[in-house]
Structure 1
Amino acid sequence: MAVIYTWEIPTMNAHIQSEGQENVIYTVHYRYVGTEESDDITYTGTIIGTENYTYLEGDPFTPYSNTEEFQNIVVGWLEGSLDIPTMQTKILANIQSQITPINEDLVFTWYN
């Protein structure tokens, strides 16, 4: 199957007031998650990060709203400022290494 990619945005930092606007977001905390099923097992790879933004008075401004519509706007910001193809390549490599490992951990059993 193909990898399915989704965004999770757990937190956004905002200035209470800035440049004549309220709740001006300056940092978006994100998780970009890829999942793939193989042999009835779901494998997941995640990239976690933050992206900073600067609002200048006069720029187009969308007021914060606790809605999926506003989340889609924020995802648009992320997709416009991050290297999505590289992120997808890294997630895919992580998932493939889970499906077909090339390394393993060895331990001394008397420590466990």
Structure 2
Amino acid sequence: MFDAARWAEAPAVAESVCKIAGLGKGAKILDAGCGPGRISVELASLGLEVTGVDLIQSELDAAAESASAEGVDLELIKADLRSFKSEKKFDCAINLFTSFGYCDTIEEDVQI
């Protein structure tokens, strides 16, 4: 899904997210539609507590593998973002790149 250039930009994207949202170490962030963990892993590398949610198990498996290879912890949850709920409170939620437009209707995209 992502070519080498997209993987290479991940650290800068994660740093930009932190800067824009004013996040520092220990902040809790939800990566809604985390995919293979490209950004989640980088956020965790910056000291954030990351929860990644995705509907596709193979994407979550790839995220777990990347996190393990980088020595960072991620909480990964298989769920449909249209109905995902969490008791956990987050300092920030992100939804980057290609997580919209896959639903059958605009209303379903809005639920995400």
TM-score per shorter chain, which class? Answer: under 0.3
Name the structure where helix makes up a greater proportion of residues. 2
Name the structure where strand makes up a greater proportion of residues. 1
Q: Tell me which structure has the larger Cα radius of gyration.
A: 1
Structure-1-length-normalised TM-score: 0.23
Structure-2-length-normalised TM-score: 0.23
